Amino acid sequence: MMSELQPITKRTVTPFRNDIVGSFLRPAALKEAREKYVNGEITAEQLRAIEDVEIIKLVAKQKQVGLKAVTDGEFRRSWWHLDFMWGFSGVDKIKLESGYVFKGVTTRAETARLFDKITFTKAHPFLEHFSFLKEAAGVDTIARQAIPAPAQMLFELIRVGDNLQSTLAIYSSINELVEDIGQAYREAILAFYEAGCRSIQLDDTTWGILLDPNTRARMEENGANIKELLARSVKVNELATRDLPEDLVITTHVCRGNFMSTYLASGGYESIADAYFSQPNYDAFYLEFDTDRSGSLEVLKELKQGDVVLGLVSSKTGELEDKAAIIARIHEAAQYVDLDRLCLSPQCGFASTEEGNILTEEDQWKKLTLIREIAEEVWG
């Protein structure tokens, strides 16, 4: 086991000791504007202007609570993942008969589906989104870009049903699809770098699904090869993150679902640890450990490289955690990973979709203030 008496270094790049996953609750003004846009009452330009104002205010608030790396809260997105996928050439936005089924609630029914082979172009709207964020962040704060992982896109495009059929109508093999996703993502990442981004987070809930024993069993009943899925997830992520600039920080976040304060899966990381922690190009792993559903911290001893951002504070509830209990959990984690390699964040974003979790904006800022206070006490 690791000693807790390790020298603590001052961090100058992400992840920082007190951190976030990325998304924030949409303010009332933004929700109202988006509804008006959907109803045809305002133009895209008018919606963009309101988004701009709310993102500037959000960045200022993030700085106020002590964050050194900020996001745009995903304020221009409806989904944490699909909006980015829709920005690739060859990808359509599709309506479905039913959405993702979470614990007791079902999402809106939308997906990404192929009509041609996947390619990246600099017309992707997220590049412009990042440029605005970077300007709003200023020179004293890191602008961080969060996007769904390549494995997440692969998982979406080979979901059983029409998505898989459409994909196989375009690609002769899944391996060919993996290559194209990896290449498109690598080009996207380099374009973000060219735009001034030095911190990219790849959100990857595929692992959160594949660690759930009940989900794995259902998938296997439907003919899925879990070992093959894990291997392909590793490969597509590696292809996308290979040979990147040394000063570009690449991190990844895994969760078990985060929609309106509900979840999708349960289980510890043990069943995916060999594959997940073997991914070589990540500088840090953002991991959920906020409830018993997340399993034991002991799995951290399987970590082969990189830092760990402990998601010990729930973004699903407004109830404020006990400071002493969180500090104790951090020191428990330090038995397996040096304290100097650990950081703290909420377990996920506060609004992975525009609906948001069931807590208030005041609640989310109290959570981040608590995280900062704990970080100052633990790491100085």
Helices (H) and strands (E) in the chain, counts: 13, 12
- DSSP 8-state secondary structure symbol assigned to residue 258: -
Kindly state the DSSP code that residue 301 receives in the 8-state scheme.
Answer: G
Q: Write down the pLDDT at residue 3.
A: 44
* Mean pLDDT calculated for residue range 63-69: 98
pLDDT grade for 69, boundaries at 50, 70 and 90:
very high
The distance in angstroms from the start CA to the end CA of the chain is 23
Asked if the model's pLDDT at residue 51 lies above 60, the reply is yes
What's the confidence (pLDDT) of residue 5?
Answer: 55
Residue 79, pLDDT above cutoff 60: yes
pTM for this model (two decimals): 0.95
Say which CATH architecture domain 28-379 belongs to: Alpha-Beta Barrel (3.20)
Res. 105 pLDDT band, cuts 50 70 90: confident
Over the stretch 214-243, which tens digit does the pLDDT of each residue have?
Answer: 889 988 988 889 999 999 999 999 999 999
d(CA 307, CA 168): 38
Q: How confident is the model over 123-133, as a mean pLDDT?
A: 98
The 3-state DSSP class for residue 191 equals helix
User: Which range (73-87, 92-106, 212-226, 320-334) has the least confidence?
Assistant: 92-106
| 190 has pLDDT over 90 | yes
* pLDDT over 80 (residue 176): yes
Please report, for the chain, the start and end positions of each structural domain, with discontinuous segments joined by +: 28-379
